[in-house]
A and B are shown apart, each in its own frame.
Chain A
Amino acid sequence: MSARADILSAVRRALKAPPAAPDLIVAEAAALLEDLDPARPPAPADPVEAFFAKIDDPAFAASIERIDGIRALPAALRSYMARHRLGFRLCLQPQEELRALSWAGFDLHHEAAPDEAVALAAGRRGISETGSVVLESGPDSRILNLFLPFHLVLAVRASTILGRLEDHAEASAGLPPRNAILMTGASGTSDIEGSYVRGAHGPRFLHVILIEDRPQGRLEEVRP
């Protein structure tokens, strides 16, 4: 017998009960996701504000700023790079929405070198529960551009910020991208005596730029 058949029959023998009908299994699995609220952090009143506050917390291994629209992104990058004395050579993830901006004064390229100083990429969405930015591989996204640079800047649109981890699972239904990464702060390690050090293998610095793109901007959040 093949190893596959052997393992499956060993499992079936061990389970003793006859196999359940697939739709029963699906129903049982779905029931495990019902009434989940007591078992997870509460839903944020405003996911965008919660996302900002989460990353802005000094204990979180990243920094965050807001801009009023995607067109302000190059200026935000310019001041970030100047603040950290990084020069103006920028590795830009070749995403259409980023390439379409005006990058005058930058020296752009799209493939990170092993000692890349800084890269910019656009996140697919944000999750306020954990302060994570979701990044996906694809024809316009090189995974290594997210891991080789010393500084990584991630742009996320406010309209894509979700509350909890399950919201992300729901939003990403369908064929998964080859790589989907929930990135939460800069790379870190506590492998030497448990003391926390930033920048183990991935970026040492993570900066998130939150792009306000909701119809009435931030005013919308002011509820009566």
Chain B
Amino acid sequence: MSAAPELHPETRRPARFKAQAAEALASPRLKLALDRTAGNAEAKRGAAVAAFPGFEAARVRGAAIKDHTLRHLDHYLESFAARAEALGTKVHWARTADEACRITVEICRQAGARSATRSKSMLGEEIGLPHALAEAGIERVETDLAEHIVQLAGDPPSHIVWPAMHIAREQVAELFAEHHQTPQDPDDVPSMVESARRVLRGKFLGADVGISGANFLIAETGAVCTVTNEGNAELTTTPPRVHIVTAGIEKLVPTLAHAMTLLRLLARSATGAEITQYTTFHAGPKRPGDLDGPEEMHIVLVDNGRSKMLGEGLEEMLRCIRCGACMNHCVVYRQIGGHAYGGVYPGPMGAVLTPVLQGLKESRALPQACTLNGKCAEVCPVKIPLPTLLRGWRIRSWREGLEPTTVRAGIGLWAFVAKRPRLYRLGVKAALPVLRIFGRKGWIEKAPLLGAWTDQRDFPTPPRGGSFMAQYKAGRRS
């Protein structure tokens, strides 16, 4: 029923990246779905950035705001927790994913919850909350439209902003026809949206617990900010008796005013809008006299590797505001989609985060799955040097001896030759004419020893005029 039934969700792992990528490349339907949505997002972001001359200055400011907060993270965590508690919110701390799930499930149990509505949260996916709720026998109702679709398909999200990016509208129609038990027309997207609205409306109002993530935690006030375009966060957090927020400790910002710069960057980078339709600040449970709202509000502050990132050279990654621009602009993601990466977070940011979350041994293929073209860093609204961080993982993987012996031997040979300029030039000189023999129309489809490269793409034919060094010497390059 999913977009790519040939991919098996339960066995996908970062370690199987190569096989998963090959399967993804073999699915023309996936490529179509990716091009439709990511292409759209890329165009809309481009237009929004062009319409905002201050974008570059805002990026610099946004990065500085996040860096400042991270530099004083202990201070901001303590002041946020104190403010939130003063508002009547119960603050919980979780060192690991398991601990976060245990706390969340326990709050649900205490509330006697049989069902929980959920407003999309990547952190929830990261800690494995869907699984933990299922094990505890609590019905989980995903309310974000895309999350609803992937839940019906039995898939994990394949993108951090468009979780159902891999699913084409024809398959949405099939899923809805089966689960909503009404006929669906794949060419009528509005009526499919209407169908989900009808089905989920009842669930919203009947849930015992509502679970959301957080886009920002405001240290000054103790408020939690969620952004959505659908309005599902408010419908998730208002009717149930209990509202639980799960949030990573890096979500802090000093004040509401600081959040504004980041909100400008987030909406433009994610969907090309100036701001999301609903930007909501949740500050504690229902107050005396309030006409609605939850009786209890809980926040689970999750570390799960973040304090380690802070101390081990990955602090820049903690600036991430989860906009998805890096994957929309990634040539690798655009070919293979999110599932091939095998982790919770796909694309360039995922290739940096997954080794933290699942270990470098398991995920060493991900930092390699990058052309280092720099596009991701160019678009990242908080200026995260993604290629540099990916290179860092590659170096570490090499040092820790995780690279297979064929790669080590190959690179060892290259290094031996590269350190001896004359030998290197001789080798290149010998290789160029050979490569040209295999080239047709400027691209090489097959050549000895290049099988892994040319299976999925062509290798460019070397230009006439000799190697770079030969041209340089002849004064044709500078």
Contact = CB atoms under 8 A, between A and B. Distances in A.
A138 B290 contact: yes
Interface string A49-66: 000000000000100000
Contacts of A37: 54
B273 to A, nearest CB: 8
A39 interface: yes
A181 B231 CA distance: 11
A201 B197 contact: yes
B172 A192 contact: yes
A191 B162 contact: yes
Given A10-B303, A179-B280, A193 B37 contact: yes
A13 B312 CA distance: 11
A189 B230 contact: yes
B33 interface: yes
A5 to B, nearest CB: 9
Contacts of A142: 291-292
Given A143-B293, A178-B285, A169 B74 contact: no
B93 interface: yes
Interface stretch (A22-30, A70-78, A83-91, A207-215): A22-30
Given A39-B261, A139-B291, A191 B231 contact: no
Interface in B251-303: 254-261, 263-264, 271, 274-287, 289-293, 301, 303
Contacts of A176: 221, 223, 281, 283
A194 B41 contact: yes
Interface stretch (B10-18, B142-150, B372-380, B447-455): B142-150
Contact of B280 (A10, A32, A33, A181): A181
Contact of A182 (B238, B271, B279): B279
B27 interface: no
A16 B237 CA distance: 38
A149 B244 CA distance: 25
B310 A15 contact: yes
A133 B9 CA distance: 42
A138 B77 contact: no
Contacts of B254: 29, 32
Contact residues on B (Cβ < 8 Å of other chain), bracket: 35 or more
Interface in A168-200: 169-170, 172, 175-195, 197-200
Given A169-B260, A178-B283, A201 B232 contact: yes
A49 to B, nearest CB: 18
A104 interface: no
A59 to B, nearest CB: 10
A94 B281 CA distance: 22
A14 B277 contact: no
Across the A-B interface, give the 6 residue pairs with the lowest CB-CB distance, nearest first: A202-B231, A14-B311, A139-B289, A200-B230, A194-B40, A10-B307
Interface of B: 33, 36-37, 39-41, 52, 54, 57-58, 60-61, 64-65, 68, 71-75, 77-78, 81, 92-95, 99, 143-146, 149, 162-164, 168-169, 172, 189-190, 192-194, 196-197, 200-202, 204-205, 221, 223, 229-232, 234-235, 238-239, 249, 254-261, 263-264, 271, 274-287, 289-293, 301, 303, 307-308, 310-312
Given A33-B257, A200-B197, 19 more contacts: A3-B95, A8-B78, A10-B307, A25-B75, A28-B72, A29-B68, A32-B254, A41-B54, A132-B275, A169-B255, A175-B221, A178-B283, A184-B274, A184-B275, A187-B230, A188-B229, A190-B40, A192-B193, A201-B204
21 contacts: A3-B93, A6-B95, A8-B74, A8-B77, A10-B308, A14-B310, A20-B75, A22-B75, A29-B255, A36-B261, A39-B60, A137-B293, A139-B289, A169-B260, A179-B283, A181-B234, A188-B230, A190-B40, A193-B189, A201-B143, A201-B231
